Amino acid sequence: MGVKLTNKDMDQLEKWIGTGPKTFTLLYAITRDGCKPKAFHDKCDYQGPTITVLYNTNGSVYGGYNPTSWNSDRNQYTCCTDAFLFQLYYNGSPKANKFSLKSDRYQYAIENNSNCGPTFGYTDLRTFTDTVSRSDSYFSLNVKSKFNEDYDMQGLSAEEIYNDDWNVTELEVYKVAYEERKVRTPWRNVGQWNEKFLEELKKDVLSFKPVADLDISAARILMIGPVGAGKSSFYNTIESIFRGNITQRARSGSAEQSLTTCYVPYSVNVPSGGSLNFRLCDTRGLEESHGLDVHECSYLLDGNIADYYQFNPTSPITPKVQGFKTHPTTEDTVHCAVFVIDATTLDVLSTKVMEKIKGFQNLMNQRDIPQMVLLTKVDKLCKDVQSDISFVYQSQIVEEHVDKASQLLGLPRTNILPVKNYEKELRLDENTSILALLSLRQILYFAEDYMYNLRERKNLVQN
């Protein structure tokens, strides 16, 4: 079947969404696939950003943009800032209006419900529940909307937008994909990607040494992030690069709760038998009601917690726990903190997890500890990056997610580092390794900056 949106309509939607050219691919249509929730979710779940368009019997066309993926497994609201409702035609005549979310209602932007079709806001744009059968040439949708609850309808009534008429001749859902340009100027210039560059990066990391006169033998890089974001996988990726084969020393995978339950300062080994002069310190993942908390993070930053300490969710850490370091040295403290965040979940990070992260950042700011973000799974954002990792710094959608992470955590863009971990590969890939080492090298630079500052303060005290 053909699509009903015209090129002019798509141009208007593209302009409203912003950030460059898009392609619109029809995923679901009720005249083709049936007007029932299961059909909608089977076709549209986990497809990334989508546009929902309704056409009623009066010739009015309206709908909504979901910048996140529909997900019938969640059965909850998705918080985001970029969703919007729109109007394209009224009684068959062009009438273009965009209706943005109210600033205090972001948490109700999108409703994911396995029993419903596309749903925007608490009541703003609801489409159908259960199965709706065709009646003559239209479908009489069986749920009502109440506009202006979560989206700002600019004073327009339901009558002025869709005739207050729920008889639709069609309802379509389009996948919205970024139309990348291979000739686009890189948004971050990092050099020519080739074997020579890979060896240069490896050499830089191999030659890293902590700043002299501080009695530090290895820099400590604390990795913090939500469950499943890829903390352990990043360590495995770095270890694999220097070992020359895919390894999995750190436990990784998918689970509802963190697979990491200890504080583990992983060393990176080389074939000669030695290890590099830094430790990637893994700890349990962030969860809404469990996982690492601000109290434990403070002890980690200050070096009080012993290596391989087993976290106990029912027993908080106190100076009386076994191995607690009452007088930690500069060797024990954290020299750089890295937040590891899944790029595909930026728009749906829970409020409670973000509150924890902000609490951790306050602790780090008090100690002048540099903060970085590893933005993982960037290959899942863009088909061009998925087919060619070296395209990551040309990808408009990756750049957009770097900007979002920067705003979310209040850090400069240069502190946001996109990566793809080894997770399904059985052999090393040159471009994947380059991307990981670029990030690691920058992290080590920041740890070195912290040590220089530490040494200056030490010298001032001594003098």
- Return d(Cα 305, Cα 307) in angstroms, integer: 7
Contact 201, 445 (CB under 8 A): no
The DSSP call for residue 436 is H
pTM to 2 decimals?
Answer: 0.66
Does residue 259 have a pLDDT over 80? no
- Return d(Cα 119, Cα 77) in angstroms, integer: 10
> Beta strands of 334-408 (E only): which ranges?
336-342, 371-376
End-to-end CA distance of the chain: 80
- Rounded percentage of the chain residues whose pLDDT exceeds 70: 95
Amino acid at 101: L
- Return d(Cα 239, Cα 266) in angstroms, integer: 9
Query: For the domain 195-462, what is the CATH code?
Result: 3.40.50.300
- Return d(Cα 350, Cα 107) in angstroms, integer: 9
Does residue 255 have a pLDDT over 70? no
Q: Which of 382, 454, 441 is nearest to 414 (CA)?
A: 441
Domain assignments of the chain as residue spans, ordered by start: 7-178, 195-462
Report angle CA 55, 61, 62 to the nearest 5 degrees. 110
Report angle CA 366, 448, 365 to the nearest 5 degrees. 10
- Return d(Cα 440, Cα 449) in angstroms, integer: 14
Amino acid at 18: G
Give the three-state DSSP class for 101.
strand
pLDDT in tens, 200-219: 999 999 999 999 999 999 99
Contact 416, 426 (CB under 8 A): no
Q: The tokens of 225 are what?
A: 């992030």
Confidence of residue 312 (pLDDT cuts 50, 70, 90): confident
- Beta pairing, strands 275-282 & 219-224: parallel
pLDDT in tens, 372-420: 999 999 998 877 888 899 999 988 889 989 998 999 999 999 999 999 9
